[in-house]
């Protein structure tokens, strides 16, 4: 399909987004990547960072490294000043001074990118592949120009998430103001609805996200479910350095991740020679977890992506107790490292697991189920190790190469029709 021109748009470059772009490049479908920042450490412009104090230089480069694109011989168009300004304002605590929240500053950047794509990047295209919050204006204009609109929704549609998190706010009123999904402005929600309405086809990573769309009347024929892949080349099993029973969570932890239910379970278990470790940013209200569970867990705020494999390998089991989650890339990363997982039915990753083989699948908010599975893991180290080997085997079957091939084939099929 050499006559096909497809461009992909995303505000950042999450792992699933990079894989989608690579899928289109490998299939000779990709015309252009459009984003905010695309960091190339060897580019001349970034050498000026060496003029900064060494500590600040390292901090900036670490932040920029999250925006590295490796798409050879393909055009990457960037609008960096929007993102640089957004990062500066958020880091400089401009939001505290102006009364703007971090999310409001981000929403402003989404809108600006959407407008630029609609204005400058739809000429001579067959299709545009875009993501939540940056597609409404683009799709409006693309439809008028006969450009096929492909939409990728990594997380459940907001109505499902909002319903579950409203229930959570009723259970824990002190968390209400920190739950972003129930505090989003109406104009942003209408944009999300418009994006789904205008999309010719929607790609999701799990049946959880698919159901969130069919629940609002989206025809299932308009949706393709393609689970994300496991990074089996960059994440591999490594020997554990001690015999501590270590339960770990990876990622930004907020009320939607169900961390507080895991803590309730852990508080009751009182294992010997055991640790509960959270790796990632704490998005709970300041002091909320500390007031209730001080000393019960270890918190590591940030880990370089290059060191994650080592941290995963120190876990006995990885737990993702989310109340609602589109997929959870941490699950396939853990499995690639040969670590079994405990997930809830609402993580999406439950689609790829066999309960009791690579890990366990439990209901949301179920402290007793968490306790039961953690007790089993603690008491059956040999069987747990076997689960880890099974997890690695499943990861090898569902690697990123499989994801890219399935995605490219489906897009090619849609555009051929």
Could you list the pLDDT tens digit for every one of the 417 residues in the chain? Answer: 457 899 999 988 788 999 999 999 999 999 999 998 887 777 776 777 777 777 767 767 766 777 777 777 778 888 877 666 666 665 555 445 444 555 666 677 788 899 999 999 999 999 999 999 999 999 999 999 999 999 999 999 999 999 999 999 999 999 998 888 888 889 999 999 999 999 999 999 999 999 999 999 999 999 999 999 999 999 999 999 999 999 999 999 999 999 999 999 999 999 999 999 999 999 999 999 999 999 999 999 988 888 999 999 999 999 999 999 999 899 999 999 999 999 999 998 889 999 999 999 999 999 999 999 999 999 999 999 999 999 999 999 999 999 999 999 999 999 987
SS3 172: coil
CB 362 within 8 A of CB 373: yes
Q: What is the distance between the alpha carbons of residues 29 and 303, in angstroms, rounded to a whole number?
A: 35
Which distant-in-sequence residues (6+ apart) come within 8 Å of 99 by Cβ? none
Q: What is the distance between the alpha carbons of residues 407 and 340, in angstroms, rounded to a whole number?
A: 27
- The two structure tokens encoding residue 130: 């875009």
> Which pTM value belongs to this model?
0.90
pLDDT the model gives residue 1? 46
pLDDT the model gives residue 92? 53
Tell me the chain's radius of gyration from C-alpha atoms: 22
Q: What is the distance between the alpha carbons of residues 134 and 114, in angstroms, rounded to a whole number?
A: 5
pLDDT the model gives residue 70? 72
Q: Give the position of tokens 């597609």.
A: 135
Q: Which of 95, 120, 92, 91 is nearest to 105 (CA)?
A: 95
Q: What is the distance between the alpha carbons of residues 83 and 69, in angstroms, rounded to a whole number?
A: 16
- The two structure tokens encoding residue 353: 């697991």
Domains within the chain, CATH numbers bracketed: 6-229+400-416 (3.40.50.2000), 245-397 (3.40.50.2000)
pLDDT the model gives residue 187? 92
pLDDT the model gives residue 138? 97
CB 164 within 8 A of CB 212: no
């Amino acid at each position: 399909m050499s006559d096909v021109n497809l461009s992909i748009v995303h505000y950042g470059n999450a792992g699933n987004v990079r894989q989608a772009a690579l899928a289109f490049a490998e299939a000779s479908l990709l015309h252009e990547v459009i984003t905010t920042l695309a960091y190339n450490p060897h580019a001349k412009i970034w050498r000026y960072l060496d003029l900064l104090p060494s500590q600040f230089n390292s901090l900036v480069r670490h932040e920029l490294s999250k925006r590295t694109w490796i798409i050879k011989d393909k055009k990457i168009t960037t609008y960096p000043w929007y993102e640089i300004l957004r990062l500066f304002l958020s880091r400089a605590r401009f939001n505290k001074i102006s009364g703007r929240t971090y999310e409001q500053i981000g929403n402003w950047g989404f809108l600006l990118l959407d407008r630029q794509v609609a204005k400058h990047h739809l000429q001579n295209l067959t299709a545009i592949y875009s993501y939540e919050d940056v597609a409404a204006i683009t799709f409006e204009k693309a439809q008028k120009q006969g450009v096929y609109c492909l939409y990728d929704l990594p997380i459940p549609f907001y109505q499902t998430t909002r319903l579950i998190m409203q229930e959570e706010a009723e259970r824990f009123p002190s968390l209400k103001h920190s739950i972003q999904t129930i505090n989003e402005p109406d104009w942003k929600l209408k944009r999300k609805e418009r994006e789904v309405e205008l999309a010719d086809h929607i790609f999701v990573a799990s049946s959880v996200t698919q159901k969130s769309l069919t629940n609002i009347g989206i025809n299932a024929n308009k949706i393709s479910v393609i689970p994300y892949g496991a990074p089996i080349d960059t994440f591999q099993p490594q020997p554990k350095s001690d015999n501590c029973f270590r339960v770990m969570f990876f990622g930004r932890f907020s009320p939607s991740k169900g961390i507080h239910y895991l803590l309730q379970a852990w508080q009751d278990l009182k294992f010997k020679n055991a640790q509960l470790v959270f790796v990632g940013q704490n998005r709970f209200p300041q002091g909320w977890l500390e007031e209730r569970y001080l000393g019960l867990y270890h918190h590591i705020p940030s880990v370089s992506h290059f060191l994650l494999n080592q941290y995963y390998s120190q876990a006995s089991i990885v737990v993702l107790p989310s109340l609602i989650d589109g997929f959870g890339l941490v699950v396939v990363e853990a499995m690639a490292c040969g670590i079994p997982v405990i997930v809830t039915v609402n993580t999406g990753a439950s689609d790829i697991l066999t309960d009791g083989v690579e890990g366990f699948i439990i209901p949301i908010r179920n402290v007793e189920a968490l306790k039961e599975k953690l007790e089993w893991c603690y008491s059956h180290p040999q069987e747990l190790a076997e689960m880890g080997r099974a997890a690695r085997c499943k990861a090898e079957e569902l690697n990123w190469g499989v994801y890219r091939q399935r995605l490219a084939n489906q897009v090619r099929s849609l555009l051929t029709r």
